[in-house]
Amino acid sequence: MGNVREALKTKKRIVVKIGSSSLMHPETDRLNLLKIEKLVRILVDMKNSGKDVVLVSSGAIAVGRNTIGMHRRPEGLPEKQACAAIGQAKLMMVYQKIFAEYNTVAAQVLLTKSVMLNDESRKNAENTFNELMKMGAIPVVNENDTISTSEIEQVQTFGDNDRLSAIVASIIQADLLVLLSDIDGMYTDDPNKNPGAKFISLVEHISDDLIHMGKESSGSGVGTGGMAAKIIAAKIANNSGVDMVITNGNKLDNIQAIMNGEEVGTLFLRHQDQSFDLLELI
């Protein structure tokens, strides 16, 4: 275990994904500004140490609905997209302001599934990411919810930002993907329902049994990605040559601990598959 964890210290291009539930105060569903400030400080410090950093951030719909005083999850697609349009602008304003306090530029990148399915568009996206990082900016990525359609059926959307973050990690040839979740990592069962569930520290291969363990459940009223979505993300990342760690987003110091080679979260080891077709899992 020590050797594979030690190897994380050498990672140079890191994608960090944070979900809606990790960005908001659970009591009010309002933005947790202290947590966002700490996240930004950690990411900027990573960049200052010579690493390329990309942030995939959920939260647009949750922020939008809160901005207009909607005390429920939006139901219809137009309602979701309208909330996303309001929330995305506000969320980026918050990120840009806090990143600027640390003398760093935040760049907004909104992606759609159609962009990733098109070879030319996908290459253009890759080139844009590379250029932004050359300029010293930190890309802040989200799905373009205002024009993506059929979210429930997941026909024209990624379905969740866990999958999106893995796709981003794949196309920019990242070394490591860190998924900030609402639990400490992968368990043999849902630890909220089964106190006997055992923690899994290392996954060397994503087996059918492991996939079966993943359950389409989310522990909050603002998130969309359950453990099943994270296992799909791990499959995309690992087969693309990217290590992935699931860790608790309520403990942001875990990011630094992971980069220091400490045994934090569940590590999914990369095993690059030359026959792997990214488009099959988009």
Residue 260, domain CATH: 3.40.1160.10
Domain assignment of residue 206, yes or no: yes
- Distance, in Å, from the CA atom of 84 to the CA atom of 120, rounded to the nearest integer, reads 27
The boundaries of the domain holding residue 76 are: 2-271
pLDDT (tens digit, 0 to 9) for every residue of the chain, 282 residues total? 568 999 999 999 999 999 988 999 988 889 999 999 999 999 999 999 999 999 999 999 999 999 998 988 888 888 988 999 999 999 999 999 999 999 999 999 999 888 888 889 999 999 999 999 999 999 999 988 666 654 434 445 555 789 999 999 999 999 999 999 888 999 888 787 888 889 999 999 888 777 777 654 444 444 444 788 899 899 999 999 999 999 999 999 999 999 999 999 999 999 866 666 666 666
Coil, helix or strand for 275? coil
The encoded tokens of residue 213 equal 């363990």
Q: Structurally, how many domains does the chain consist of? A: 1
Domain assignment of residue 279, yes or no: no
Domain assignment of residue 282, yes or no: no
Domain assignment of residue 249, yes or no: yes
Indicate the residue type of 141.
Answer: V
Enumerate residues 6+ apart whose C-beta is below 8 A from 275: none
The encoded tokens of residue 109 equal 């990148």
Cα–Cα distances (Å) from 60 to 21, 131, 263, in that order, read 12, 25, 32
Are 21 and 220 a contacting pair, CB within 8 Å?
yes
**What radius of gyration do the chain's Cα atoms show?**
18
Coil, helix or strand for 107? strand
- Distance, in Å, from the CA atom of 115 to the CA atom of 11, rounded to the nearest integer, reads 27
Domain assignment of residue 276, yes or no: no
Q: Report pTM.
A: 0.90
Domain assignment of residue 211, yes or no: yes
Domain assignment of residue 277, yes or no: no
The encoded tokens of residue 255 equal 């990011």
Domain assignment of residue 175, yes or no: yes
- Distance, in Å, from the CA atom of 152 to the CA atom of 76, rounded to the nearest integer, reads 10
- Distance, in Å, from the CA atom of 269 to the CA atom of 60, rounded to the nearest integer, reads 31
